[in-house]
Amino acid sequence: MKNKKRLRKIIKAIKIMMISIFAVLLLTSGVYIYAKMSPKLEIKSANAFLMYDSEGELYFQGSGNQEWISLKDISPYMVSATISTEDKRFYDHYGFDFIRIAKALYVNIMTKQKKEGASTISQQYAKNLFLDFDKTWERKFNEMWITIQLESHYTKDEILEGYLNTINYGHGMYGIENASKFYFDKSAKDLTLAEAALLTGIPKSPSHYSPFVDYELAKKRQVNILYMMLKNDYITEEQYEESVNEELHLVGKKENDTLTSVAYYQDAVMKELKKLNIPESYLETGGLKIYTNLDRKAQKDLEDSVKENLTKEDDIQTAAVMMEPTTGKVIAMIGGKDYTTSQYNRAYSSARQVGSTMKPILYYAALENGFTSSTTFTSEATTFTFANNQTYSPQNYGDSYGDKPISLATAISYSDNIYAVKTHMFLGEETLVNMSKRLGITTQLDEVPSLALGTASINMLEFTAAYSAFANEGYKVEANFITKVEDLKGNVLYEKEYEKEGILNKSLTYILSNLLTTTYDSDYIDYSYPTAIGIAPKIKHTLALKSGTTDTDHWSIGYNKDIVTAVWVGYDDNKSLSVGDYKYSRNIWVDAMEKYLEGKEDNWYEMPNNVVGVLVNPISGKPATNEDKVKKILYYVKGTEPQESDMVFDEIFDPTEQKAESNNPAP
């Protein structure tokens, strides 16, 4: 009786299983039939990224479509290496390798780690037909649907051809033909077995397996791929040995484009594109035309300036941005010293301590609160006491102090830290935080005394946009790379709208911009030197400039009406900079600015009607007399011109009363 019941249960279970299998097969067949009846995807143009520069000239075409080549024009070694490595049952499945999926699930469950994947070439190709790689369920569902569509409409050879023409081989190289020419200066049909195996290893992680990033790691992966080809009977033992020992002659160049750094700009464009509300209609229309703000001359000027000042051998890094101040358009960008060795974009993705480049923001706030070019504090060693009896003792560079009252103009020229902190405490620590927010800086800033000296880490794009408000005489802008996006039929999907929001006073930005020319002015040589006096012989145009120095970071940022340029130099591991390292950012900055402005007239600012120029002693800020050997014109809002009787601010505001106390060393 028990056996009969057990038999009935088994039969029932078998029936349920067979019905389930039949239902799955029926559903699967229905999905594939529906896919077969759906519109055919144009895979030769899908996900094509056509990037145009500011002159409307095409400078980049993504997904390898610069030169789509047929499968017969690709080395058979490349074909067999790809199949052996990525999907050895490629010709036997219908888009999904269920044996491999089951194995991957088993291994991952047993190890409790995601050690194995099961994506087929068809699935990976479907993924390449999307602009983004967000790991959402909707995204995975779309990927599966595209895989089924590919398998329904195209032969295996056509899918493999599309995959090899669109896969990312690193360094901005999409597609096997582009990659072959970049790495080996030859067509894909001429690749040797050793070369094909090396290239096959790169797409898994281009930032790791590129031979220009880590040759030893790339070589190790190449050997593993050759071994898999041997195991899968694609090559003989003799071919394996010969290829493992074959000397590789790497080239690493792009045809008709010497701007290797433009890849940083392309990456930033793609990141901005992901943030835009672009419909996925490109799948039907075949791709996107992206009109960017790239100025190729500016990009070359910036790249050349980096190459002329930094050597590849040193591990010091740099980042730089050139921005149109009236719009926030990023016209050039360097994300690192060498894209072939590091694709990390330090200008776009990182935040670094800005040092004294924070001071112009502080001093604009000071001008709004009654300071003038002649406002004086005493430059002397000072210890500040603030909340809970905590103390703060900033130092000037080289422990250099005037031990006398100095003007705001001189404080900017020397980048006097004591003057900056006294100003910060006088205004109230919240003033600098609020002014930074007004300029568009979103970084969380702490209301502490050291903020005046730039202890906060801020992203370069955001910081350059903040300076643009000084350069454009008072309007807020945001950094942007894209002006317009169209589909390949010319339908506009996105167009940037530039709005002007006035946030600063034009008269005060005029005064501040002129104060920032003191940083390289020899007339300010007194008990110290202007911070950028070393590059003064290189400066041919009138430029505002401020540098910033911390133990680990050095910035130079400056502008005129045409352009704002920011340059950072430092080490990725936050290693301390040597004294000799501080010269790099200034020289890159001035070289890039003067190259860009070469042949252009000096485009400085017109003095507003309510501003006057007064001849003064630049160090003291007092009206000039016959006894003064050096006299300079400084600028003031009418009615605030300096008087001989003006008090030193230390005498008006005693920091010891509220937040700080002066601690003067004995003479």
Cβ contact 289:488 at 8 Å: yes
Tally of CA atoms within 13 A in the half-sphere of 19 that contains its CB: 6
187-203 burial, b at 16+ Cβ within 10 Å, e below that, comes to bbbebbbbbbbbbbbbb
C-alpha span between 543 and 516 (Å, rounded): 8
321-341 burial, b at 16+ Cβ within 10 Å, e below that, comes to bbbbbbbbbbbbbbbbbbbbe
User: Is 42 a known active-site residue?
Assistant: no
Cβ contact 473:266 at 8 Å: no
Q: Which of 569, 600, 648 is nearest to 306 (CA)?
A: 569
Beta strand extents in 513-652 (DSSP E only)? 544-549, 553-559, 564-570, 611-616, 632-637
The one catalytic residue in 122, 152, 243, 356 is 356
User: Is 413 a known active-site residue?
Assistant: no
Residue 392 pairs in a beta bridge with: 384
Cβ contact 582:549 at 8 Å: yes
C-alpha span between 431 and 434 (Å, rounded): 5
State the pairing for strand pair 287-292/48-52.
parallel
Cβ contact 450:358 at 8 Å: no
Cβ contact 89:99 at 8 Å: yes
The one catalytic residue in 75, 86, 122, 513 is 86
Q: Which residues contact 379 (CB under 8 A, 6 or more apart)?
A: 396, 401, 402, 403, 404, 405, 406, 411, 416, 418, 419
Q: CA triplet 66, 287, 174: central angle to 5 degrees?
A: 35
Place of tokens 């034009």: 506
Q: Which of 478, 503, 483 is nearest to 494 (CA)?
A: 483
Catalytic residues: 86, 356
